[in-house]
Structure 1
Amino acid sequence: MTSTSQFRDLNGQRFHCYHWGDPANPPLLMLHGFPEYGGAWSDLAPLLAGHFYCIAPDQRGFGRSWSPAGIPRYAASELVGDMTALIRQLDRPVTVFGHDWGAAIAYGLAMFHPDLTERLIIANGVHPVPFQRALAAGGAQSAASQYIHFLRQPGSEDILAADGFAKLLDLFSANMDLSWLTGARLANYRQAWGDATQLNRMINWYRASPLRVAKPGEPLTDLPDFPVDRLQVRCPHLLLWGDADTALRPETTQGLEAFAADLTRVTIPGADHWLLHQKPEQVAQAVLTWVNT
């Protein structure tokens, strides 16, 4: 099944969205991460389109959607606001499916807009509190996330965009299987990345984030007390996890049950951070089993 696409006006700005399936089906809002775009769901969405109406936007700063200049335009509240506008256009609550950075927006929708979020599915993505605790601990996750310091530096986009995005591809594939990103698909990704200016907008998600990353072996000891009651996921929550992920370590989800009482965990063996491309059939089966239980 191939996608259709259209532009939507969200809060007065132009956003590009991909769609699969019958609009009469329950809506599934699919939120990509870095450095992907809405078309990244093309392996998985057709496997879910018999049950859902799949909607995958290019989020702010990505692909063909609105990409404003300036780091403050990529604050989480603004990014979540884009998606609340999209859901309100649909005029019914949705199941939200987030991966990587898309998970951050998906959690924001579930925590702060429960009236719009019927169910939450996350694939190798993290709730902000367990993630911040893991980043601050100075252990395996702190070591794995040192690249964030590089990304936040001025001009990192110029380094990553040079030579046909060679360094970005190196970062994308570090210790993980990128065999799925070849040929026409790779050409589509390069087209979505555009140039260093477009990549700057994508990286601004990292620059705008308040997350703090400790140096390995030097834990941060001054984290604030997090308001657990305000950061609850009150809808049913499915967490899918590729167990070979080297970008997000297992400790990033430790204690998640304190924030999500109705949590189901499913491991996808042998998959890494890019499980949506590597194991789409297993991911789809896990999702459909969960929603039909």
Structure 2
Amino acid sequence: MITETIDLNGNPFFLRKWGDPSLPPLLMLHGFPEYGGAWADLAPHLSRHFHCIAPDQRGYGQSWTPAGVENYTLSKLVSDMAALIDRTGAPVTVLGHDWGASVAYGLAMFRPELVRRLIIANGVHPAPFQRAMAAGGAQSQASQYINRLRAPDAAAWLSADDFAKLEQFFRHGMGTDWLSDEQVALYRAEWARPGRLDAMLNWYRASPLVVAEPGKPRTDLPGLPADRLRVTCPHLLIWGPEDTALLPKSTAGLEDYAPDLTRVTIAGADHWLHHQKPAEMARAILDWTRTG
């Protein structure tokens, strides 16, 4: 692995890279509460086939961290990664997990000329996810944590006692505990960088998606025009079925928005499948890219 800091749209972003730069690029987009180093388990399995590029996204790790919720809207997050793809050479294969999936979908939907293929690992397209979260059922129940993370005091609450609540959320909030003490120490060091935790939470606050209370469906939903939310490139969805935060309903009807969709399930994995089953996940990616 090598690292570097580059300028994107006039702001510094920290990158980790694995593999020969002459190989096809694979842009790897992490979610909450991770950073670019989250791909260190998976990237070595792919680096003989791809030049793996994993940025710390805006507000995370060693990358640019502006203050203010308004700086974390999806359009701005997509703009960062579009600038990175422009520097890398378009089009590229994009892999997104968790919140990284939102940026990956944004690139595929709004900048399709930049995305050759789209791979999502336990992440959600906004339309099926909003439908499931608004219904007042199981996905609404599973998503209640979003409201807590949007609260003004969330950063102070999560960081108290050396990030005890954030560690608990990370270890148990979306699946099983895969973290070693050494890994937790690395994550704490990233979370403790000035301003980072509040910036990470601004991704939740800036999202227009609505979370219904259980048993109380919501109809006051953001406009999600289907014609603007289509994924026209080949799309692979890799799923850890034991995920307790993103339920099967969160991807129901995805084929309506992504007609060239392949679904792969990795048994025994949950939300953190890229840490739990990296070899199986790499195999799914390589099998799909070889035939696609």
On whether the aligned pair clears a TM of 0.5, the verdict is: yes
* Residue of 169, 187, 199 corresponding to 2:197: 199
Cα distance in 2 for residues equivalent to 1:108 and 1:120: 11
Aligned match of 2:60: 62
User: Does residue 1:167 correspond to 2:165, yes or no?
Assistant: yes
Q: Is residue 241–residue 267 contact of structure 2 (8 Å, CA) maintained in 1?
A: yes
User: Does residue 1:178 correspond to 2:177, yes or no?
Assistant: yes
Cα distance in 1 for residues equivalent to 2:58 and 2:24: 24
DSSP 3-state at the match of 2:112: coil
Which amino acid letter does the alignment assign opposite residue 174 of structure 1?
G
DSSP 3-state at the match of 2:57: coil
User: Does residue 1:210 correspond to 2:208, yes or no?
Assistant: yes
- 1:175 deviates by 5.9
Which amino acid letter does the alignment assign opposite residue 101 of structure 1?
W
Show CA shifts across 1:187-228 (max 9, x none): 111111115732000000000000100000000123356321
Cα distance in 1 for residues equivalent to 2:277 and 2:16: 21
Which amino acid letter does the alignment assign opposite residue 139 of structure 1?
G
Provide TM-score, normalisation by structure 1: 0.97
- 1:91 deviates by 2.0
Answer with 224-233 or 267-276: which moved more.
Answer: 224-233
Aligned match of 1:236: 234
Cα distance in 2 for residues equivalent to 1:225 and 1:177: 35
Cα distance in 2 for residues equivalent to 1:195 and 1:87: 27
Provide TM-score, normalisation by structure 2: 0.97
Show CA shifts across 1:42-97 (max 9, x none): 00001001110000000000000000000000000000000000000012311000
Cα distance in 2 for residues equivalent to 1:126 and 1:225: 17
User: Does residue 1:142 correspond to 2:140, yes or no?
Assistant: yes
Aligned match of 2:9: 11
Show CA shifts across 1:6-53 (max 9, x none): 001000000001000000000000000000000000000010011100
Answer with 241-250 or 187-196: which moved more.
Answer: 187-196
Cα distance in 2 for residues equivalent to 1:6 and 1:26: 19
* Residue of 77, 80, 83 corresponding to 1:82: 80
Matches within 5 A, 1:1-293: 3-172=1-170, 173-174=172-173, 176-179=175-178, 181-194=179-192, 197-223=195-221, 226-293=224-291
DSSP 3-state at the match of 1:115: helix
DSSP 3-state at the match of 1:79: helix
Aligned length: 290
Cα distance in 2 for residues equivalent to 1:225 and 1:36: 29
DSSP 3-state at the match of 2:124: coil
- 1:184 deviates by 2.4
Show CA shifts across 1:111-159 (max 9, x none): 0111100000000000000011111000111001111111111111011
Cα distance in 1 for residues equivalent to 2:165 and 2:12: 30
RMSD: 1.1
Q: Is residue 161–residue 196 contact of structure 1 (8 Å, CA) maintained in 2?
A: no
Cα distance in 1 for residues equivalent to 2:175 and 2:192: 24
Cα distance in 2 for residues equivalent to 1:95 and 1:224: 29
- Structure 1 portions without partners, runs of 5+: none
